[in-house]
């Protein structure tokens, strides 16, 4: 791996050749034209991680509907991933359909995912990568806290709306305490535009306007 800084929001996702449970893949090329979510977990055969993989799989069809693929990662080898997903299928009656990267540590290190307290495990992280291979969001969780998968799904939905309609989402969208599922209009860019917005329906002030979500 090249000695480069870890990818940040707005950066292009680095080119990586990875070994997965679905064979070798080239990232981000394998998901060209799609969104993808790369998420890391500390280790296979661990309680919290097992609940997370189950949760992701339960929502996999919803992610697919949003043109979004999933790919997992941990510093475990393919045989470990395969035995773990076999256990999930046998015990939880759930087949994990998305690939899992088997890593020696090089991929995790390139992405800044090595846990500071343990060189043999990865932190819980989530990379959101858009169809242009740009990193749009990154989430980090401690080892003791499982992820909120409805929030991850909400973020993908919000990105789709933001990109299509050129708007922003208020807190807790689509259940905002002030505006419900309305979206935020970008602030005025000129004095003339700002003046037109004063007193306009949907505008609390020239810099805070909302409108109904386009269906």
Q: What is the pLDDT of residues 94-126, one digit of tens each?
A: 999 999 999 988 898 899 887 666 666 788 999
What is the residue-level pLDDT of the chain in tens, covering all 215 positions? 444 678 999 999 999 999 999 999 999 999 999 999 999 999 999 999 999 999 999 999 999 999 999 999 998 999 999 999 999 999 999 999 999 999 988 898 899 887 666 666 788 999 999 999 999 999 999 888 999 999 999 999 999 999 999 999 999 999 999 999 999 999 999 999 999 998 899 999 999 999 999 98
Active-site positions? 49
pTM above 0.85, yes or no: yes
Domain extents for the chain? 16-146, 166-215
Distance CA 102, CA 77 (A): 5
The separation between the first and the last C-alpha atoms of the chain, rounded to the nearest angstrom, is: 44
The CA-based angle 69-151-6, given to 5 degrees, is: 60
Domain 16-146: homologous superfamily in CATH: Glutaredoxin (3.40.30.10)
Instruction: Name the 3-class secondary structure at 130.
Output: coil
CA nearest neighbour of 162 among 170, 150, 153: 170
Q: What is the DSSP string of 64-104?
A: HHTTEEEEEEESS-HHHHHHHHHHHHHHH-----S-EEE-S
CA nearest neighbour of 49 among 75, 18, 23: 75
Q: Would strands 124-129 and 23-27 be described as parallel, antiparallel, or unpaired?
A: unpaired
- What's domain 166-215's architecture? 2-Layer Sandwich (3.30)
Q: Do 166-215 and 16-146 fall under one CATH topology? A: no
């Amino acid at each position: 791996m090249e000695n480069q800084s870890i990818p940040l929001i707005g950066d292009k996702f680095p080119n990586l050749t990875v070994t997965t449970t679905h064979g070798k893949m080239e990232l981000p090329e394998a998901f060209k034209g799609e969104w993808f979510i790369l998420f890391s977990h500390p280790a296979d055969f661990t309680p919290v991680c097992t609940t997370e993989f189950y949760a992701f799989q339960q929502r996999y069809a919803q992610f697919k509907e949003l043109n979004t693929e999933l790919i997992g990662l941990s510093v475990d080898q393919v045989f470990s991933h395969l035995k773990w997903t076999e256990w999930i299928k046998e015990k939880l009656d759930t087949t994990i359909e998305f690939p899992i990267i088997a890593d020696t540590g090089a991929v995790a290190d390139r992405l800044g995912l090595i846990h500071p307290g343990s060189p043999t495990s990865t932190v819980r992280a989530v990379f959101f990568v858009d169809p242009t291979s740009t990193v749009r969001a990154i989430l980090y969780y401690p080892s003791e806290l499982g992820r909120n998968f409805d929030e991850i799904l909400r973020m993908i939905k919000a990105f789709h709306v933001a990109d299509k309609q050129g708007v922003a989402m208020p807190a807790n969208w689509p259940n905002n305490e002030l505006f419900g599922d309305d979206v935020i209009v970008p602030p005025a860019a000129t004095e003339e535009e700002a003046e037109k917005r004063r007193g306009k329906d949907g505008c609390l002030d020239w810099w805070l306007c909302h409108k109904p979500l386009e269906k």
